[in-house]
Amino acid sequence: RCDVRLRLPVAGHVSSFNASAAAAALLYEVQRQRAGSNTTRP
């Protein structure tokens, strides 16, 4: 069982992320939102 399920929308087709890539994407988005940045995603 998992405690939390997340969805990481990405451009193109990606079937899965490894844990470190998913964590990096999540932390990037958290920081982007906390900073109030209106920059586009890479």
Give residue 31's pLDDT. 92
pTM for the model:
0.52
CA distance 35 to 12: 26
CA dihedral 8, 14, 20, 25 (to 10 degrees): -40
Residue 20: what pLDDT? Answer: 86
Mean pLDDT of 17-26: 84
Q: Give the residue-averaged pLDDT of 25-29.
A: 88
Q: Are the beta carbons of 20 and 13 closer than 8 angstroms? A: no
Q: What percent of the chain has pLDDT over 90?
A: 7
3-state secondary structure the chain: CCCCCCCCCCCCCCCCCCHHHHHHHHHHHHHHHHHCCCCCCC
pLDDT at 9 > cutoff 60? yes
Q: Is it the case that residue 4 has pLDDT exceeding 60?
A: yes
